[in-house]
Structure 1
Amino acid sequence: MTDSNPPSVQLADAIAVQLGQLRRHLALAPPHEAAQVLAHVLDYDTGLLGEVTDLVAADSRFAKDHSERGLLPPDVALALGRAANELDSVGVDLNEHTGTIERITAPTPPSNRPAAVPVPSAMVIRRHR
């Protein structure tokens, strides 16, 4: 049986499947590999998060246009606009930390000194409004 969905819907489905595969690989990856994947995902210029943000922003413009024509309720356009703005804000915040994450992926030169034991720290949760 052939798929009757248009190619763009088939592409979205395939990307969703690949994201699930990436999530499963990430869960099992060694720390240096997981950090490398995370750095690529969070890179706001070329990574997955930036692309998803751009996609939601494009969806927002589509919904706004169709809302103005009376084809979609205004709530849909507003919700997509808020989602695009939130993703952009989160992406900017996370982009500040990609350098730190990338340092984990860099090979460390061998040392005769014992490695410093990481010190646990309290989690601080910031919320921007």
Structure 2
Amino acid sequence: MSHLAPIPVRLADEITRQLGQLADHLSQLPPSQAAQVIARVLDPDHGVLGGVTHLVATGSVFAKDQAERGALPAEVWLALGRAANELDDIVLDLDEHKDTLHRVGAQPATAAAKRPAPAPLVVRRHR
């Protein structure tokens, strides 16, 4: 009889597999559908990125507790805390572009008759 992984471990493996599938599909979608998918993934409240950020923050709380007990090095807690903070910053940076993604995603495929003007790919960040 084979040893089955605990349910949360299997869930993490399944989510990882599905994210790979989503990335594969995304690379083949027409622009409007790809924009819809990206907008949903990046949604700070209900999207994948927001969920991953919450998961890492929860992991940081766990690691802090374990570090205080001596079961984990403090560096693990600090690294998870930094990762959670950086992901949160990324979510905030990307949130300002969600309206654009929704607008592009709402355009019908036939609206591409007028080709959009190319944009320079080097842009200065503003905060």
1:87: Cα distance to partner?
Answer: 0.1
Once structures 1 and 2 are overlaid, which stretch shifts more, 118-127 or 98-107?
118-127
Quote the residue 1:30 is aligned against: 30
1:120: Cα distance to partner?
Answer: 2.5
Structure 2 counterparts to residues 34-73 of structure 1, below 5 A: 34-73=34-73
CA change 1:10–1:125 in 2 (3 A) is farther
Quote the residue 2:9 is aligned against: 9
How many residues are aligned here?
Answer: 126
Q: Which has the higher helix share?
A: 2
Q: Distance in 1 between matches of 2:36 and 2:116?
A: 22
Identity rate, percent: 51
Quote the residue 1:76 is aligned against: 76
Letter aligned with residue 12 of structure 2: A
Q: Distance in 2 between matches of 1:3 and 1:37?
A: 36
TM-score, length basis structure 1: 0.88
SS in 1 for 2:27: helix
1:2: Cα distance to partner?
Answer: 4.1
Q: Distance in 1 between matches of 2:126 and 2:115?
A: 32
TM-score, length basis structure 2: 0.89
Letter aligned with residue 92 of structure 2: V
1:106: Cα distance to partner?
Answer: 1.2
1:50: Cα distance to partner?
Answer: 0.4
Q: Distance in 2 between matches of 1:117 and 1:66?
A: 53
Letter aligned with residue 120 of structure 1: A
Structure 1: gaps of 5 or more residues: none
Q: Distance in 2 between matches of 1:48 and 1:8?
A: 17
Q: Distance in 2 between matches of 1:93 and 1:119?
A: 22
Letter aligned with residue 124 of structure 1: V
Q: Distance in 1 between matches of 2:29 and 2:82?
A: 33
RMSD, aligned CA: 2.2
Quote the residue 1:105 is aligned against: 105
1:4: Cα distance to partner?
Answer: 2.1
Q: Distance in 1 between matches of 2:103 and 2:120?
A: 19
